[in-house]
Amino acid sequence: MELKSRITEQLAIDYPIIEGGMAHIGDGRLAAAVTNAGGLGQVAASGFSPRRFREQIDIAAQAANGSLGVNVPIGTSFNYQAYFEIIREKKDVLSAVSLSSGDPRGHTQMLKELGLTVMVVVASVRQAVVAEEAGADIIICEGFEAGGRNSPMELTLFTLIPSISKHVSLPVIAAGGISNGKAMLGAFALGAEGVQVGTRFIATEECAAHETYKRSLVEAKDEQSTVIERSIGSVNRVLMSPYVQEVQKREEKRLPFYDLFTYINGQRNRIAAIQGDMENGWVHAGQGIGAIGSITSVQNVIDEYIQDMKQAAKQLDDNTALLMKT
């Protein structure tokens, strides 16, 4: 079954499913697997030194038969210039770049001149309009459901997709809690033309995450996705654990940033995600965790999204026919 939209056309992919940038675990092997299964794989800059970022792009490019992307957070706390230099160097093996966590003005034109499709991650209508005016090609609209660092505005996809697609003419990709084909169909119904997936791709054979992390996602119930860092004005969506509960208790005591930082820094994420040390660190997990049933190959995950979406579309047709019957 072919799934065609402006997203599949612009990115030259078979299915409108893209891998979200994932700090520490969004490496070249996972990106190549997503691309080879018909989606768009993306190598993450966050969690990788510039040298490792370059290596991972090479690994992805060697293994992938199709379009590849990279993700670069452009917030003030990240030295994105070093990564932009590598993107310039590797532009011939890349098709797209996604910019997240910051203002895209000042970056989009330079990246477009390299021949890349520029996608901008947004979390409100205002940000989407700014991204369109800045010359972005695709809007990625990320809801509060998403694993990882989210906007403090905490808007959900259910409201974001229809309002953003009403205010911009660019194609919209929906991100956050989309762990199966039924949710993907829902996103399309609301106006999206593609989906960005993070958490579901972690529980795959090709992901570098530790087995403990993958298994905990399969075993997790929907209630176990939670938020840390609200006390310092951020939203970081993670998997609930005794370690995370401790962090939340410290936040209730309103610890200042420098004290809290010991518990929430990227190294604490790395040791849990890559080494499986959940007692001393935390991992990201979106609200779609309750729908993850197995650790399997990326190919199987994408096939399941498509099958599941087809079934859901049929069910929707039947339900609609019943509803509309007079």
> What distance in Å separates the CA atoms of residue 179 and residue 202, rounded to the nearest whole number?
11
Strand duo 41-44 + 17-19: pairing: unpaired
CB closer to ligand FMN out of 212 and 255: 212
> What distance in Å separates the CA atoms of residue 229 and residue 318, rounded to the nearest whole number?
44
Cβ atoms of 149 and 121 within 8 Å: the answer is no
| DSSP assignment of 265-309 | SHHHHHHHHTT--TTS---B--GGGGG----B-HHHHHHHHHHHH
Two structure tokens written together for 223: 């209630």
Taking CB under 6 A as the rule, does residue 73 contact ligand FMN?
A: yes
Over the window 157 to 196, marking each residue x when it contacts ligand FMN by CB under 6 A and - when it does not, the resulting string is ------------------xxxx-----------------x
CB of 196 to ligand FMN, least distance (A): 5
Report the candidate in 18, 138, 119 with the shortest Cα–Cα distance to residue 72.
119
Taking CB under 6 A as the rule, does residue 100 contact ligand FMN?
A: yes
CB closer to ligand FMN out of 22 and 131: 22
The piece of 32-40, 131-139, 142-150, 226-234 that touches ligand FMN (CB under 6 A) is: 142-150
CB of 72 to ligand FMN, least distance (A): 8
Number of Cβ within 10 Å of residue 212's Cβ equals 15
**Between residue 40 and residue 59, which ones bind ligand FMN under the rule CB under 6 A?**
44, 46
Q: Which of 199, 204, 216, 236 binds ligand FMN (CB under 6 A)?
A: 199
Which residues sit at the interface with ligand FMN, rule CB under 6 A?
20-23, 25, 44, 46, 71, 73, 100, 121, 142, 145-148, 175-178, 196-200, 284, 286, 288
